[in-house]
């Protein structure tokens, strides 16, 4: 019954729902209600939603194994996650670092969590670029699926980045790390360390 309801939901509604956190942050910023440290609040909020959406994207396949079919929404979730990652990165470059390239390069050397976060962004680039039907036809379903397994290492790196930025392992940090571990363990249990795990 749930799947029948989900089939009636237009996929474009995911984009609208997914954009609401960014709109809310923009409203809070413009009205001066985002907090005493707006720059950190914006960076943290965008990064947090990026991580949430990445994890939500990885949840689609396991949920399908238990009968909840969200497959038609996975592309939208993935593209929203990528959009929040890009916004998070852009916020760091502009409102935090002020496009001071010398300091940016210096921070890349001194702050490993930035390198980890950028690595996650780089892995997501080919996924966002090929999240369309034309790419599936050009690459072939098997190669396309193999490429999109990069979502797993990208989300692992994003989670590590999130933990390194926070520095303190709060319940929130541990919750997201725990969810990711469960998703990975579930996949290993189903496919094994070899076989179809990453193929």
Q: Tell me how far apart the alpha carbons of residues 124 and 79 are, in angstroms, rounded to a whole number.
A: 9
* CA–CA distances in Å: residue 46 to residues 42, 56, 183: 6, 15, 23
**Per-residue confidence (pLDDT) for residue 197, from 0 to 100:** 47
Between CA 185 and CA 192 the distance in angstroms is: 9
At 21-70, the pLDDT tens digits run 999 999 999 988 888 888 889 999 999 999 999 999 999 988 888 888 88
Question: 9: which residues sit within 8 A by CB, 6+ positions away?
Answer: 73
Domain residue extents for the chain: 2-191
pLDDT at 179 over 50: yes
- Specify the pTM: 0.90
Does the pLDDT value for residue 124 go beyond 50? yes
């Amino acid at each position: 019954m749930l799947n029948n309801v989900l089939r009636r939901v237009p996929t474009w509604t995911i984009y609208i729902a997914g954009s609401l956190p960014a709109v809310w942050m923009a409203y809070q910023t413009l009205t001066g209600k985002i907090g005493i440290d707006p720059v950190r609040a914006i960076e943290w909020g965008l990064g947090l939603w990026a991580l949430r959406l990445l994890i939500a994207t990885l949840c689609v396949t396991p949920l399908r194994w238990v009968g909840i079919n969200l497959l038609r929404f996975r592309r939208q979730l993935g593209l929203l996650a990528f959009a929040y990652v890009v916004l998070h990165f852009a916020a760091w470059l502009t409102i935090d670092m002020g496009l001071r390239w010398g300091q940016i390069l210096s921070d890349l050397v001194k702050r490993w969590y930035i390198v980890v976060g950028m690595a996650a962004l780089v892995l997501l680039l080919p996924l966002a670029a090929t999240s369309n039907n034309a790419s599936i036809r050009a690459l072939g379903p098997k190669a396309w699926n193999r490429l999109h397994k990069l979502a797993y290492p990208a989300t692992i790196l994003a989670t590590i980045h999130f933990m390194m930025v926070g520095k303190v392992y709060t319940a929130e940090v541990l919750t997201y790390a725990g969810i990711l571990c469960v998703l990975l363990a579930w996949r290993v249990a189903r496919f094994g360390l070899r076989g179809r795990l990453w193929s």
